[in-house]
Amino acid sequence: MDLPVSPLAPAARVAPVPVPGVRLATRACGVRYAARTDVLLALFDPGTTVAGVLTRSATRSAPVEWCARGLAGGRARALVVNAGNANAFTGRRGIASVEAVTCAAAAVAGCAPDAVFIASTGTIGEFLPDARITGPLPEMAAAARPDAWGEAAQAIMTTDTFPKTATRASRIGDVPVTLSGIAKGSGMIAPDMATMLAFVATDAALPPAVLRALLGPAADASFNSITVDGDTSTSDTLLLFATGQADHAPVTDPDDPALAAFRADLNALLLDLAHQVVRDGEGATRFVEIRVSGAADAGAARRIGLAIGNSPLVKTAIAGADANWGRIVMAVGKAGERADRDRLAIRIGGVPVCADGLAVPDYDEAPVAAHMQGREILIEVDVGIGDGRATVWTCDLTHGYIDINADYRS
């Protein structure tokens, strides 16, 4: 199934700026696809630290379990990513494949296997043809270049209709540092899974504990605040590598004021990548921002936002350009969080459509209808209980989603 590029794709493609201490190589290894690159090798110079956020699925894949152990050590020298096969639900043989790939990568990187990270996405339940990956690794290592970020974003795509990249010039204190990243994900991977992968690197010099403290909240506000279809992958993986080659003053406290700009830029870069995943949502024709306020706390606000963003009734209404706020009320009600029905207020495209538990009498429907016809939809909901705020992002649910996921045999 050849899919056209999403109508929500960013107009301009960003070429990530090389990160000192990172080299990348891609190759067409034939894991599943023909005539395209499908394996990425990233090599990190000695001294690189790492933090990550992994899927909480109870059926997570062997590669995810491997990464969980590696993250405890906090050191990284290599990353291997393949597209087309998730190596999930593959039992002992799947674990053996992970060990084969990480061992081979450790040999070419000159490090211990526990400094190698791995991610696989694609079909579930099929054994990974690991020799197709391990065989080419030495040649890939020899060919690795600092400027191959765009190729890297291409190699990890599955049903993505465009590669996802982002970059930021940042600083720690007054010292410039670079942040560059790639992501994949478009609702799910043909033919099996919704999977997001994101890999970000920086030349900042930050201990693993500081990286973790920065990454957790940034992931919550970005990748954990988007939804395409509410389904959670066995393979979701977000990794942040810091090569330590920038010459800034040592930072050991995540609350160090010298991190202010870096924190903001990391948050922005992750949000940029997460938005690109939503913009490539299967069948998506509208990008939807849902701002929730007045909740008991930020967590409650996020759960309410995700209840709205995951509701098939809300998402089909948006597909139909229908400002159907009754469905938003319903989704707030089912979220399982406190809300005051009689203080609930909803704005669509900035126009109040209901307030104080009632439709706003005679609101001007024309600007609302015009807004719903656009590509970018804004829904604001105040649930009238407290000060908790959160923003989540989603896309509409269209015939295109059914086409991709039903009219298609594995």
| Binding site per annotation, positions | 158, 184, 195, 282, 405, 410
The footprint of a second copy on residues 243-272 (CB under 8 A) is none
* Sequence-separated contacts (24+) of 30-36 with Cβ below 8 Å: 30/129, 30/132, 31/82, 31/83, 31/84, 31/85, 31/122, 31/128, 31/129, 31/132, 31/133, 32/83, 32/84, 32/85, 32/122, 32/123, 33/83, 33/84, 36/154
Among 131, 176, 370, 408, binds a second copy (CB under 8 A): 408
Q: Is 406 a binder of a second copy (CB under 8 A)?
A: yes
Among the listed residues 161, 195, 227, 234, the single catalytic one is 195
Our CB check for a second copy shows the closer of 148 and 190 to be 190
- Binding residues for substrate are 158, 184, 195, 282, 405, 410
Distance CA 95, CA 358 (A): 56
The CB-of-245 to a second copy minimum distance in angstroms stands at: 38
CB of 191 to a second copy, least distance (A): 7
Of residues 313, 352, 363, 386, which one binds a second copy by CB under 8 A? 313
Considering only residues 4, 69, 72, 410, which one is a binding residue for a second copy as defined by CB under 8 A? 410
Task: Please identify which residue in 59, 138, 169, 367 interacts with a second copy, judged by CB under 8 A.
Answer: 59
Is position 195 annotated as part of the catalytic site? Answer: yes
Q: Is 151 exposed, middle or buried (0-12, 13-18, 19+ CB in 10 A)?
A: middle
Q: Are 235 and 55 a contacting pair, CB within 8 Å?
A: yes
Question: Residue 90 CB, nearest distance to a second copy (Å)?
Answer: 7
Strand order in the sheet with 226-227: 226-227, 388-395, 287-295, 376-382, 345-348, 351-355, 358-359
Find the part of the chain contacting a second copy (CB under 8 A) among 113-121, 123-131, 142-150, 287-295.
123-131
Site for a second copy contains 232 (CB under 8 A): yes
Check residue 362 for interaction with a second copy (CB under 8 A).
Answer: no
Contacting a second copy (CB under 8 A), which of 247, 322, 364, 387? 322
Q: Are 74 and 50 in contact (CB under 8 A)?
A: yes
Specify the stretch interacting with a second copy by CB under 8 A; choose among 108-116, 144-152, 191-199, 240-248: 191-199
Q: Which of residues 2-31 bind a second copy (CB under 8 A)?
A: none
Two tokens at 280?
């490539």
Nearest to 64, CA basis, from 93, 86, 42, 37: 86
Write out the two tokens for 10: 């960013």
> How far apart, in whole angstroms, are the C-alpha atoms of residue 366 and residue 204?
50
Instruction: Please say whether the beta carbons of 188 and 233 come within 8 A.
Output: yes
By CB under 8 A, tell whether 335 contacts a second copy: yes
Q: What is the CA radius of gyration of the chain?
A: 22
The answer to whether 339 touches 385, Cβ cutoff 8 Å, is yes
Smallest separation, CB 407 to a second copy (Å) = 6
Does 330 participate in binding a second copy (rule CB under 8 A)?
yes
From residue 339 to residue 358, what is the string marking binding to a second copy with x (rule CB under 8 A)?
x-xx-x---------x-xxx
Q: Which stretch binds a second copy (CB under 8 A): 143-151, 164-172, 196-204, 337-345?
A: 337-345
Distance of CA 315 to the CA centre of its chain: 20
Q: Which of 7, 110, 299, 312 binds a second copy (CB under 8 A)?
A: 312
* Beta carbon nearer to a second copy, 36 or 343: 343
What lies within 8 Å, CB to CB, of 34 at 6+ separation is: none
Q: Does 173 bind a second copy (CB under 8 A)?
A: no
**CB < 8 Å & 24+ apart, contacts of 400-405:** 400/282, 400/283, 400/284, 400/285, 401/187, 401/229, 401/281, 401/282, 401/283, 401/284, 402/283, 403/283, 404/1, 404/3, 404/159, 404/187, 404/190, 404/282, 404/283, 405/188, 405/282
Among 36, 75, 291, 338, binds a second copy (CB under 8 A): 338
Q: How far is the CB of 36 from a second copy (least distance, A)?
A: 22
Q: Does 331 interact with a second copy (rule: CB under 8 A)?
A: yes
Q: Which of 91, 135, 367, 374 binds a second copy (CB under 8 A)?
A: 91
Would you please indicate which residues are annotated as catalytic (active-site) residues? 195
Q: Residues interacting with a second copy, by CB under 8 A?
A: 55, 57-60, 88-91, 93, 123-126, 188, 191-194, 229-234, 310-313, 316-317, 319-320, 322, 324-327, 329-339, 341-342, 344, 354, 356-359, 396-399, 401-402, 405-410
